[in-house]
Amino acid sequence: DVKVTQSSRYLVKRTGEKVFLECVQDMDHENMFWYRQDPGLGLRLIYFSYDVKMKEKGDIPEGYSVSREKKERFSLILESASTNQTSMYLCASCRPSYEQYFGPGTRLTVT
């Protein structure tokens, strides 16, 4: 079975902290994605990566950065967390032209 894991299910951080969200997939997928999920807004793409060290901005990249140093790992970084970044964060991976597989999500609260 394809497995996408995320480092934390729940996370509480303070405003201004630097936050790292980690995602690891075990199926050698080329593409990896970070979304945030908010009620009434569905899923919105933050960043995606189609290869090691490659990244592309999604629809809402402001306030976020990403890192992909190894094929299986894709990190989302909040340089200075703010309360409007309180959300559910979902990581996904896939092979090109195939469906995406999602991790269980990290519910981040910024106070």
What residues make contact with other proteins under the rule CB under 8 A? 4, 31, 33, 40-43, 45, 48, 50, 56, 58, 90, 92, 94, 96-105
In the complex, minimum distance from the CB of residue 10 to other proteins, in angstroms, rounded to a whole number: 11
Which residue's CB is nearer to other proteins, number 67 or number 101? 101
Closest among 32, 48, 85 to 63, alpha carbons compared: 85
Which residue's CB is nearer to other proteins, number 82 or number 95? 95
Residue 60 CB-density burial (10 A; 0-12 exposed, 13-18 middle, 19+ buried): middle
Which residue's CB is nearer to other proteins, number 81 or number 90? 90
In the complex, minimum distance from the CB of residue 30 to other proteins, in angstroms, rounded to a whole number: 9
Which residue's CB is nearer to other proteins, number 59 or number 79? 59
For residues 51, 57, 60, 66, the Cα torsion angle rounded to the nearest 10 degrees is 50
Beta-ladder partners of 73 = 24, 70
Q: What are phi and psi of 84, to 5 degrees?
A: -75, 0
In the complex, minimum distance from the CB of residue 104 to other proteins, in angstroms, rounded to a whole number: 5
